Chains A and B, each alone.
Chain A
Amino acid sequence: MFTYYLNLALRSFRRNKALTALMVLAIALGIGASMTTLTVFHILSGDPVPTRSGELFYVQLDPEGMTGYTPGEEPAEQVTRFDAQTLLREKRGDRQAMMTGGSLAITPQKQGMSPFYGDARYTTADIFPMFDMPFLYGGGWSATEDERHARVAVIAKALNDKLFGGADSVGRTVRLDSDDFRIVGVLDQWRPTPRFYDMNSDRFGELEQVFVPFSTSRDLKMSRNGSMDCWGDAGSDPEGAAGVNAPCVWIQYWVQLGTPAKVDAYRRYLVNYSDQQRSSGRYERPTNVRLRSVMEWLDYNKVVPSDVRLQVWLAFGFLAVCLLNTVGLLLAKFLRRSGEVGVRRALGASRREIFMQCLVEAGVVGMAGGIVGLALAWLGLWAVRQQPASYAELAHLDPLMLLTTFVLAVGASLLAGVIPAWQAMQVTPAIQLKSQ
Chain B
Amino acid sequence: MGRSYENRNEDSTMELRPILSTLLRHKTAAALIVLEIALSCAIVCNALFLIGNRIERINLVSGVAENEVVRVQLTGIGKDDNADALTRSDLATLRGLPGVKAATVTNQVPFVNSSWNTSVNMTKDQKQPTLGATVYMADSQFLDTLGPKIVAGRQFAPDEFIEWAALDAPDSKVSIPSVIITRSLADKLFPGQDAVGRSFYSWGDDPIRIVGVVDHLVRPSDQGGPAAHEYSMVFPINVPYSLGGNYLLRTEPGRRAEVLKAAVAALERNGPNRIILTDNTKTMEELRSAYYRADRAMVWLLVAVIVALLVVTALGIVGLASFWVQQRTKQIGVRRALGATKGQILRYFQTENFLLATVGIALGMLLAFGINQMLMGKYELPRLPLVYLPIGAVALWLLGQFAVFWPARRAAAVPPAVATRSV
Contacts and interface: CB of A to CB of B under 8 A. Distances in A.
Interface of A: 19, 22, 26, 29, 33, 66-70, 103, 105, 107, 114-117, 177-179, 220-221, 223, 234-238, 240, 306-307, 309-311, 314, 317-318, 320-322, 324-325, 327-329, 331-333, 335-336, 387-389, 419, 423, 435
Contacts of B170: 234-238, 240
B328 to A, nearest CB: 12
A329 B297 CA distance: 33
Given A317-B43, A331-B32, A332-B323, A235 B315 contact: no
A413 to B, nearest CB: 15
B36 interface: yes
B36 A328 contact: yes
Contacts of A220: 78-79
Listed from nearest, the 3 A-B pairs whose CB atoms lie closest are A178-B78, A332-B323, A177-B78
A68 B128 contact: yes
Contacts of A423: 28
B19 interface: no
A325 B36 contact: yes
Interface of B: 28-29, 32-33, 35-36, 39-40, 43, 47, 50, 75-79, 119, 126-129, 168, 170-171, 273, 275, 277, 290, 293-294, 297-298, 301-302, 305, 308-309, 312-313, 315-316, 319-320, 322-323, 326-327, 371, 375, 378-379, 423
Contacts of A114: 275
Contact of B294 (A177, A307, A321): A307
B305 A329 contact: no
Contact of A321 (B309, B327, B371): B309
A22 B36 contact: no
Contacts of A327: 32
A318 B305 contact: yes
A310 B377 CA distance: 12
Given A324-B32, A328-B316, 7 more contacts: A117-B275, A317-B371, A328-B320, A331-B28, A331-B320, A331-B323, A435-B423
Contacts of B423: 435
A114 B308 CA distance: 50
A388 B33 CA distance: 39
Nearest to B204: A233
Nearest to B371: A317
A26 B28 contact: no
A223 B277 CA distance: 15
B28 to A, nearest CB: 6
A238 B169 CA distance: 8
B171 to A, nearest CB: 5
B77 A26 contact: no
A424 to B, nearest CB: 11
B320 A329 contact: yes
B124 to A, nearest CB: 11
Given A310-B379, A332-B319, A320 B168 contact: no
Contacts of A336: 323, 326-327
B323 to A, nearest CB: 3
B35 A324 contact: yes
B77 A105 contact: yes
A231 B50 CA distance: 37
11 contacts: A22-B319, A67-B126, A67-B127, A105-B76, A105-B78, A236-B171, A318-B305, A327-B32, A331-B323, A332-B29, A333-B323
Contacts of B313: 321, 325
Nearest to A388: B293
Nearest to A234: B170
B320 A68 contact: no
A68 B36 contact: no
Contact of B28 (A177, A333, A387, A419): A419
A318 B313 CA distance: 10
B77 A321 contact: no
B79 A221 contact: yes
Contacts of A67: 126-129
A423 to B, nearest CB: 6
Which of A26, A325, A336 gathers the greatest number of chain B CB atoms within 10 Å? A325
B97 to A, nearest CB: 23
A306 to B, nearest CB: 5
A235 B43 contact: no
Nearest to B314: A325
Which of A22, A26, A328 gathers the greatest number of chain B CB atoms within 10 Å? A328
Contacts of A320: 39
Contacts of A310: 50, 375, 379
Contacts of B326: 336
B308 A66 contact: no
A290 B294 CA distance: 33
Given A307-B298, A318-B309, A329-B320, A115 B315 contact: no
Given A329-B316, A336-B323, A324 B77 contact: no
Contacts of B319: 19, 22, 325, 328-329, 332
B312 A317 contact: no
B313 to A, nearest CB: 6
Nearest to A178: B78
